[in-house]
Structure 1
Amino acid sequence: MRLTKQVIRQLLDQNEGFERSTHYRDRNNTNDRHYQIVSGELRIRETGRTSWADSHYDNEFVADEDQTRRFLKNYLGALNTDGLNMG
């Protein structure tokens, strides 16, 4: 499926409340992301810390078009795609 702006809009509208979380850890960084579709946009809350003692972070933001497209592509199988052109 080609994720055009129209298809992205429809997926966001049809999947209000859809949530997923991810966790990433390496030697110097721990990162958790919580994704949620709310009011027709993908919202992301990112928390984590690095190897520095005082470097904790907690950020919330609305995903840009590229981030939203990647998220929808990754979770397309779990989303409601009723009525979309799957060609």
Structure 2
Amino acid sequence: MRLTREVRQQLLEQNEGFEVKTCTREKNFVEYRQYLITGGELRIRSSGKTSWADSRFDNEAVATDEQTRRFLREHLAELNTDGV
């Protein structure tokens, strides 16, 4: 399936509420990510910490077109693709 802008938008609208959580652990670094499709867009929340005492972070943003395309490609088998 070719993920054109129109197809990406249709997939986002059809999969309202779809959520994926990931965790990355490396030496002195932990990051949790939550990907959530809501309002016709992909939102990414990233939180975690490093070994520094003041290095906790918690950020949320709307995914770029490239991030959205990559996310949809990776999770296409899990998404509702009826009528696309």
Q: The TM-score by the shorter chain falls in which range? A: over 0.9
Q: Tell me the equivalent position of 2:26.
A: 26
Deviations 1:24-65 (A, max 9, x none): 010121000001100100011100111211100000110010
> Please, which runs of 5 or more residues in structure 1 have no aligned partner?
none
Structure 2 residues not aligned, in runs of 5+: none
* TM-score scaled by length of structure 2: 0.96
1:65 corresponds to 2:65: yes
- 2:8 aligns to what? 8
User: How many pairs does the alignment contain?
Assistant: 84
Aligned residues: CA RMSD: 0.7
What residue number does 2:55 align with? 55
Q: Percent same amino acid at aligned positions?
A: 60
Q: Which amino acid aligns with 1:79?
A: L
SS state of the match for residue 81, structure 1? coil
TM-score after normalising by structure 1: 0.93
